């Protein structure tokens, strides 16, 4: 058996290529949208990808099933209860799929979504399971959240009860040595306690997973429905789009380089300028009216949290990063990139009247000056779980992804300081406020961590 895991750090997303060495037949499970790596690996190993399996309608990324089907001629497989605009093979509970010696077994495991499945992998039909691909039903250290908008028509309690049954009556009946390969890891908003490990075993999860330790069904439902992080704004969009016929991504197609005048024209017509440089570079100077979402972080996730899905996008990135930025946005279905600003540093240097610097305070500066600023508005843009563990006194908690919808809770005329855990999200949030017309916005370098360290040092001295 050939078994490859592909882990995409920027989306905490895992996908899989499984092949039979004797027949050279293969499947891909939960692929990302830029598919060249799967195709290249299959070609190098002499494999024919004949089936693309989706464990459910993903909400956190736009899957590559259509791209893979187009490139390889493969069928697309979903649960028998899934409905799509494109042709699919409907997979029944208990159905076996033979690749030769390697055999896959479909388990219906609803709960995260109604159509969720898990896939048991055997190296031979009569062998104990080698692994189970659990999608978003079971993670390492966590289970799928039942509260996402992907599950229209179901309550979170209904889905949580289905999840309980799927875990205890299906997955936990597998042998302890069965490897667990989920679709996501730490950092994903698809759960609240995901491990940094990218695989585990059924036996390890029985004894270490907090949700599986619940003493009864009701306790389980309460555990998995409380304290979930806010879902990024694009989740509902992607969950629906994953079932639709849509345009295909050409991940190598060159982007259009724009002049400054062309970029500003797009902006005047409603486009958003998304600056993917680091917060430090953005702070030193950026085109007025830009949103900062650093390409070196969870770029697609936070862009999808603060940029509407229905607007054009102009990219500002370091030279050579434009294709990477476009493809990472395409991974969440944000395809309306109209081009990128060519030679951005030179353009900004030549047009200083169109450039703004961002106010960024050290934690010590904030402590020195905060008491003297009348009407100061302090905004903690971390998630509620982070906020509950401690915050700077007087802060309002509005997670960064909720800022665009909750601007009316803030005073745009008041001096405003934004902070997060380390400084990445605060640059995103501060830039959102500036584009919304807030007149005096700063963020704290190093975030809450730097503030804690600074105040501890001040208390000692």
Strand order in the sheet with 89-91: 2-8, 13-19, 25-29, 48-53, 75-79, 89-91
> Per-residue pLDDT averaged across 97-114, rounded?
97
Per-residue pLDDT at 22 exceeds 80: yes
Q: Residue 345 burial (CB < 10 Å; 0-12/13-18/19+)?
A: middle
Per-residue pLDDT at 152 exceeds 70: no
**Domains of the chain, with CATH numbers?**
2-241 (3.60.15.10), 257-356 (3.40.250.10), 359-460 (3.40.250.10)
> Per-residue pLDDT averaged across 27-34, rounded?
98
In tens, the pLDDT along 50-104 reads 999 999 999 999 999 999 999 999 999 999 999 999 999 999 999 999 999 999 9
- Write down the pLDDT at residue 147: 87
Under the banding of pLDDT at 50, 70 and 90, the label for residue 230 is confident
- Write down the pLDDT at residue 193: 84
Per-residue pLDDT at 344 exceeds 70: yes
Per the CB < 8 A criterion, the answer to whether 31 and 13 are in contact is no
Under the banding of pLDDT at 50, 70 and 90, the label for residue 151 is low
Under the banding of pLDDT at 50, 70 and 90, the label for residue 154 is confident
- Write down the pLDDT at residue 228: 82
Q: Are strands 179-182 and 131-135 parallel, antiparallel or unpaired?
A: parallel
pLDDT mean across residues, the chain? 95
- Write down the pLDDT at residue 149: 57
- Write down the pLDDT at residue 461: 63
Per-residue pLDDT at 284 exceeds 80: yes
In tens, the pLDDT along 380-433 reads 999 998 999 999 999 999 999 999 999 999 999 999 999 999 999 999 999 999
Per-residue pLDDT at 150 exceeds 60: no
């Amino acid at each position: 058996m050939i078994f490859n895991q592909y882990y995409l750090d920027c989306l905490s997303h895992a996908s899989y290529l499984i092949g039979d060495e004797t027949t050279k037949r293969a499947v891909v499970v939960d692929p990302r949208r830029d598919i060249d790596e799967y195709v290249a690996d299959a070609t190098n190993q002499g494999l024919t990808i004949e089936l693309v399996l989706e464990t459910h309608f993903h909400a956190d990324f736009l899957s590559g099933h259509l791209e893979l089907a187009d490139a390889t001629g493969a069928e697309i497989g979903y649960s028998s209860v899934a409905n799509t605009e494109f042709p699919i093979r409907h997979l029944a509970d208990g159905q076996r799929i033979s690749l030769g010696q390697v055999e896959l077994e479909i388990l219906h495991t609803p709960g995260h979504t109604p159509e969720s499945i898990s896939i048991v992998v055997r190296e031979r039909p009569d062998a104990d399971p080698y692994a189970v691909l659990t999608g978003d039903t079971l993670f390492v250290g966590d289970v799928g959240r039942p509260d996402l908008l992907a599950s229209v028509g179901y309550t979170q309690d209904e889905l949580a009860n289905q999840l309980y049954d799927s875990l205890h009556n299906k997955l936990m009946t597998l042998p302890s040595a069965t490897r667990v390969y989920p679709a996501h890891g730490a950092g994903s908003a698809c759960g609240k306690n995901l491990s940094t490990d990218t695989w585990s075993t059924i036996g390890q999860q029985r004894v270490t997973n907090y949700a599986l330790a619940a003493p009864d069904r009701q306790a389980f439902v309460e555990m998995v429905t409380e304290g979930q992080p806010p879902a990024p704004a694009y989740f509902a969009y992607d969950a629906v789009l994953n079932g639709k016929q849509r345009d295909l991504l050409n991940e190598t197609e060159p982007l259009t380089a724009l002049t400054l005048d062309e970029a500003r024209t797009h902006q005047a017509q409603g486009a958003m300028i998304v600056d993917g440089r680091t917060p430090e570079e953005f702070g030193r100077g950026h085109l007025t009216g830009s949103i900062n979402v650093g390409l070196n972080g969870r770029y697609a996730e936070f862009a999808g949290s603060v940029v509407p899905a229905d607007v054009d996008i102009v990219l500002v990135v370091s030279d050579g990063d434009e294709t990477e930025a476009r493809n990472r946005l395409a991974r969440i279905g944000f395809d309306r990139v109209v081009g990128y600003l060519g030679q951005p540093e030179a353009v900004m240097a030549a047009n200083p009247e169109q450039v703004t610097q961002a106010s960024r305070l050290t934690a010590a500066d904030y402590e020195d000056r905060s008491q003297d600023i009348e009407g100061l508005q302090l905004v903690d843009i971390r998630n509620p779980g982070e906020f509950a563990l401690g915050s700077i006194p007087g802060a309002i908690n509005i997670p960064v992804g909720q800022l665009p919808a909750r601007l009316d809770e803030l005073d745009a005329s008041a001096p405003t300081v934004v902070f997060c855990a380390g400084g990445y999200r605060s640059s995103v949030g501060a830039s959102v406020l500036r584009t919304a017309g807030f007149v005096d916005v700063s963020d704290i370098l190093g975030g809450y961590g730097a503030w804690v360290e600074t105040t501890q040092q001040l208390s000692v001295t």
